[in-house]
Amino acid sequence: MCLPLAARIARVELSAMRSTSPAPMPAVRRDDALAGEAAAGGPAKRDFVRAVFEQIAPSYDLLNHLLSLNVDRRWRRLAIAALGWRRAPAGTYLDLCAGTLDVSATLARAPGFGGRVIAAHFAEAMLRAGRTKVHPQATFPVLADVLALPLAAGTVAGAIVAFGARNLADLDAGLREVRRVLAPGARFVILEFTTPRSAVVRALYHLYFHRVLPLVGGAISGHRSAYRYLPQSVAHFPAEEELAARMRSAGFTSVSARSLTCGIAAIHVGTRTP
């Protein structure tokens, strides 16, 4: 049974987070086979993804901006704009799979924003890595899984997930859970990698994603399997039309999709109606 929002936010005070060592990488088959199994949605996906994030958190921001040539910053700004937060600037917004809090920080310091951001992620090391980006009075980091959010139904003015939807152990269950916590009329925005439709762009994309990215990402982070998992998880993620259809099946309306940068990423937007 859900308690009122104020009682269920379960805010994690960054200064008081547990100072435990990061969870170890999975010991069994710590290789490309395990990454491929997790990307395909195997039973070990949640544990694999969480362990990966705990390990790569210190180099996560550097690699994100380096490997995307900083284009990821623009994508996040566009996704935040699609959230339509100006309709309720004092509302409570949810940043899912919040990582190192880039989206939360950008939204919280947007001119005119006077609400609060709940930043949910299930890997504590990621929240720790982003602690200096946010103001404690505007952003509330929470250790939580998208599949079981510690929030009452119909209490959130909007939700956004940037490059995290493909990491969910159960995408459809995640979509339904997000819809549950959204207030009527609130928007849900998904920013995610996609596979380009153009044959030429797709060939270059695959070359980069499957060759360059694992090499550079693995070398800097020290975890090759993490950057083998990334392109495989994108390959297994639904195409734009299918994701839009699954959002509708989860109860979202007015669903739209917008391709970004030659189709290598896309923004999906859906509205929670009564």
In one-letter notation, the amino acid at residue 191 is: L
125: CATH: 3.40.50.150
b or e along 136-163 (b: 16 or more beta carbons within 10 Å of the residue's beta carbon)?
Answer: eebbbbbbbbbbebbbbebbbbbbbbbb
Asked if residue 129 is part of any domain, the answer here is yes
pLDDT at residue number 217? 86
> Per the domain annotation, does 20 fall within a domain?
no
Closest CA to 227 of 72, 28, 31: 31
Domain count, the chain: 1
> Which residue stretches of the chain have pLDDT < 50?
1-23, 25-29
pLDDT of residue 242: 97
Confidence at residue 30, expressed as pLDDT on a 0 to 100 scale: 54
Distance of CA 66 to the CA centre of its chain: 18
In a domain, 16, yes or no: no
Q: Which domain holds residue 147?
A: 5-9+25-272
Say if 19 falls within a structural domain.
no
H-assigned helices in 195-260: 199-207, 213-221, 224-236, 240-249
**Pair of tokens at residue 233:** 């998880």
* pLDDT value at residue 66: 80
User: Domain for residue 221, yes or no?
Assistant: yes
For residue 37, being part of any structural domain is answered with yes
pLDDT for residue 3: 33
Q: What pLDDT is attached to residue 44?
A: 83
Q: Could you tell me if residue 268 is inside a domain? A: yes
Its sign, for the CA torsion 37, 41, 47, 53, is: positive
Q: What is the pLDDT of residue 14?
A: 42
pLDDT at 36: 79
Quickly list DSSP for 140-184.
EEEE--GGG-SS-TT-EEEEEEES-GGG-S-HHHHHHHHHHHEEE
Q: Does residue 17 fall inside a structural domain?
A: no
Burial class of residue 218 in the structure, from the number of CB atoms within 10 Å of its CB (0-12 exposed, 13-18 middle, 19+ buried): middle
pLDDT at 4: 36
